[in-house]
Amino acid sequence: MTDSTHDAALRSWVESANDDASDFPIQNLPFGIFRKATGDDDPRVGIAVGDQILDVSACLDADLLEDAAKEACKLASGTSLNALMQSGRGPASSLRHGVSRLLQDGTDEGSKAAKAESHILVPMSDAELLLPARIGDFTDFYASIFHAERVGKMFRPDNPLLPNYKYVPIAYHGRASTIEVSGTDFRRPVGQRRPPNAPPEQAPTFEPSRGLDYEAEFGFFIGTGNQAGEAVPLDRAENYMFGLCLLNDWSARDIQAWEYQPLGPFLSKNFASTISPWIVTLDALEPFRVGAYQRPKGDPEPLPYLHSEANERSGGLDITMEIAILTEKMREQRSEPYVLSRSFFREFYWTIFQMLTHHTSNGCRLVPGDLLGTGTVSSSGSDEMGSILEKTKRGAEPLTLPSGETRSFIDDGDEIILRGYCERDGYRRIGFGECRARVLPARSLS
């Protein structure tokens, strides 16, 4: 259900938030953790608005919030969002409503807050954005059937989609320890690789990956957790979620191809994952809820625990994913990042609610601050691909950039930039900001 916070006519006294191009208008208000670039303040909870960050604790100090929003503010006074996440959707929702009123132009609350501007706003350009939560566990799904089919064809030409795919939201357990916030560079991984057509007696080599790839995904944070043994029913799944971010699940395809059977990816995916700093709440995404992806005729219905009318009606999210590259040469030439592709989350085979319900269906406990990835966002269009593996057909058809450079996979010095946004007639466009990271050369093996 949409409410007054989604009204497209709302304007903020923070002028930059009224810019049509801003990802963070007053209708969005995503949560994050920041630190002022100068001084030695602890990390604090912030809310993005235009090119500014609203310092949530400073609003409490200035006594600008009341009632439920004020109570929620107290949960948001730590150095991570975990306490707010743990308390469920209610407090974050109250805080978002209170902050919406505070940032509105032309209201009494707004005028009072505007007078305190220098105490409660920090320009994003003067802040360091940090990981929004202490992430306990990371699980990554594989829920785009278009990605699964294209990749499956490369690895198993005769058997691209395994028989479980249309019944099970497939995932692997990743590691949270190497998840970094946008802007954190990382080294190309080193690992075992063996060319796919090598004779069976040939030993693998141990060297820097030659098949580094991005996977453009959305991540969603667990709010309230469930108890061990408690399965979350599909129609209650959204009560256990805090919000979404962008996620790049960096992958080394050559290491993956050699190691992935029989237990799935291991070192090919846990050397680095990058997330965007701002968490867009499910509340902010409410106008962009759509029906779940319509399965083609002949596909099986989900099993009963993964099926509900509400999920069919509004379990999908209409979010566009955009992937851009900035190479070393482009940086030298001062070129803008080049958009490699756009793809559409509304075409996901499984909804995020089905993913969460499936994850808990055996009694597995999810904890506040856990991060679940959706899997690579690829969609039906022939160019709507969330990985370079798909775009270059595993390197067989290199792509040419406007700089004249070609790429089969990702080179050292390349920076990949993910963006996500939602648009719908009658509503203000909202966005996720950026998720970017640059690849540094592998460590020396000598």
Window contacting Ca ion (CB under 5 A); options: 124-132, 210-218, 299-307, 319-327: 210-218
Which residue from 241, 443, 273 is spatially nearest to 359, judged by alpha carbons?
241
C-beta of 371: minimal distance to Ca ion in Å?
12
From residue 30 to residue 69, what is the string marking binding to Ca ion with x (rule CB under 5 A)? ----------------------------------------
Please report, as residue ranges, which positions from 69 to 128 form the binding site for Ca ion (by CB under 5 A): none
Q: What is the 3-state secondary structure (H, E, C) of the chain?
A: CCCHHHCCCCCECCHHHHCCCCCCCCCCCCEEEEEECCCCCCCEEEEEECCEEEEHHHHHHCCCCCHHHHHHHHHCCCCCCHHHHHCCHHHHHHHHHHHHHHHECCCHHHHHHHHCHHHHEEEHHHEEEECCCCCCCEEEECCCHHHHHHHHHHHCCCCCCCCCCCCCCCEEECCCCCEEECCCCEECCEEEECCCCCCCCCCCEEEECCCEECCEEEEEEECCCCCCCCCCCHHHHHHHEEEEEEEECCEEHHHHHHHCCCCCCCCCCCCCEEECCCEEEHHHHHHHEECCCCCCCCCCCCCHHHCCHHHHHHCEECCEEEEEEECHHHHHCCCCCEEEEEEEHHHCCCCHHHHHHHHHCCCCCCCCCCEEECCCCCCCCCCCCCCHHHHCCCCCCCEECCCCCEECCCCCCCEEEEEEEECCCCCCCEEEEEEEEEEECCCCCC
Closer to Ca ion by Cβ: residue 55 or 249:
249
Closer to Ca ion by Cβ: residue 31 or 345:
345
What distance in Å separates the CA atoms of residue 389 and residue 398, rounded to the nearest whole number?
A: 10
C-beta of 220: minimal distance to Ca ion in Å?
14
Determine which residue in the list 213, 249, 415, 434 makes contact with Ca ion, applying CB under 5 A. 249
- Active-site choice (6, 97, 119, 147): 147
Closer to Ca ion by Cβ: residue 24 or 409:
409
- 147 in active site: yes
Binding footprint of Ca ion, residue count (CB under 5 A): 3
Point out the residue whose Cβ comes nearest to Ca ion. Answer: 249
* Strand partners for 244: 220, 280
Closer to Ca ion by Cβ: residue 173 or 393:
173
C-beta of 174: minimal distance to Ca ion in Å?
8
- Contact between 215 and Ca ion by CB under 5 A: the answer reads yes
C-beta of 213: minimal distance to Ca ion in Å?
10
Window contacting Ca ion (CB under 5 A); options: 24-32, 249-257, 296-304, 394-402: 249-257
- Contact between 390 and Ca ion by CB under 5 A: the answer reads no
From residue 134 to residue 163, what is the string marking binding to Ca ion with x (rule CB under 5 A)? ------x-----------------------
C-beta of 247: minimal distance to Ca ion in Å?
8
Window contacting Ca ion (CB under 5 A); options: 67-75, 215-223, 358-366, 428-436: 215-223
Window contacting Ca ion (CB under 5 A); options: 26-34, 64-72, 212-220, 427-435: 212-220
Closer to Ca ion by Cβ: residue 270 or 327:
270
C-beta of 78: minimal distance to Ca ion in Å?
30
What distance in Å separates the CA atoms of residue 216 and residue 322, rounded to the nearest whole number?
A: 8
From residue 353 to residue 372, what is the string marking binding to Ca ion with x (rule CB under 5 A)? --------------------
Closer to Ca ion by Cβ: residue 141 or 344:
141
Closer to Ca ion by Cβ: residue 27 or 341:
341
The residues that are catalytic are 147
Interacting residues toward Ca ion by CB under 5 A: 140, 215, 249
